[in-house]
Structure 1
Amino acid sequence: MTNTPKQYMVMKPEDMNTTFAQAYNSGNIDNLLALYEPNGILLTPDGSLEQGIQNLRQTLSDLLSLRGTMISNNVFCIPFENIALLRAHFTLNGFDASGNDIQITGHTSEIVRKQPDGQWLYIVDHPFGANSLPELNVGGASNRVEK
């Protein structure tokens, strides 16, 4: 994506997760999508891989439908030349389809790459990267988030 709003441009890889939370909290899907390379990969809650901005749109829209507030803090950032490996801890407080309060927490794993203009974008985003999918516990409910 080339039209990243200035407040969501990530110029240091260690700022990626905090910026993702800010983009989520804005409620604007385009702010989230602007953080991914055009062919970026996102692991979905059901364990499948989506690649490319248009394919990520639905999963990120589903995330926004929780109408929540996210906090995401960097656990580590390991940069190497123009890529970096990240891990963060996040908490998302939102609402399910029935309007009930939910809380989702976890640790992420991501790979980001520095772009020619100096900003960093996701090339791989694994929102529950510290857990194997069968062990995911979302809000004390089932192991998988239903779409």
Structure 2
Amino acid sequence: MPEYEKAMRPEDITRLFVERSNSGDAAGVAALYEEDAVLAYPPGARTVGRDAIRALWEKVLANRPRFEPEEPLPTLISGDIALTSTPPKDGAGARAQVVRRQPDGSWLRVLDQPEFTPPTR
């Protein structure tokens, strides 16, 4: 695997995700996740593990989607765990990720909820 820039702050992961997704680098996107991470995608399903996340992003990125940076909400940190989130530009729901500090001081995603739209009442 190539040597990728590491997220030295939890907020760096979103920037790296956008850069790597827009360059079509599914392996680079997967490198932002812990080995056993859980991604709540596709909607209504879960993708578990870095290898499965890479395979999923290979399919998603084959369509060459464009991702725009979103302004993050304040990060909540407790020890080696942090919660990052962004409100989507379209105003629908929220995106949230739990990230964990690694032994080298970098951060990786453990749980990723990229799309959550509250049910309409």
Q: Quick check: 2:17–2:32 contact (8 Å CA) kept in 1?
A: yes
- Helix, strand or coil at the partner of 1:37: strand
Alignment-mate amino acid for residue 5 of structure 1? Y
Name the % identity.
Answer: 29
Q: Do structure 1's residue 67 and structure 2's residue 54 form an aligned pair?
A: no
After superposition, where does 1:25-64 map in structure 2 within 5 Å?
25-64=22-61
Which structure has the highest strand share of the two? 1
Detail structure 1 runs of 4+ shifted over 4 Å in the superposition: none
Q: How far apart are residue 44 of structure 1 and its match?
A: 1.1
Alignment correspondent of 2:115: 128
What's the CA shift string for 1:50-72, capped at 9, x where partnerless?
A: 21112212321232123122123
Structure 2 residue corresponding to 1:119, chosen from 94, 106, 110 = 106
Q: Distance in 2 between matches of 1:18 and 1:106?
A: 20
* CA RMSD between the two structures: 2.2
What's the CA shift string for 1:91-116, capped at 9, x where partnerless?
A: 6xxxxxxxxxxx9x763111000100
Q: Do structure 1's residue 107 and structure 2's residue 106 form an aligned pair?
A: no
- Helix, strand or coil at the partner of 1:70: coil
Q: Distance in 2 between matches of 1:89 and 1:20?
A: 16
- Helix, strand or coil at the partner of 2:68: strand
Q: Distance in 2 between matches of 1:66 and 1:106?
A: 24
Count of residue pairs brought into register by the alignment: 118
Using the size of structure 2 for normalisation, the TM-score is 0.83
Structure 2, unmatched stretches of 5+, are: none
Using the size of structure 1 for normalisation, the TM-score is 0.70
Q: Quick check: 1:43–1:127 contact (8 Å CA) kept in 2?
A: yes
Alignment correspondent of 1:13: 10
Structure 1, unmatched stretches of 5+, are: 92-102, 136-147
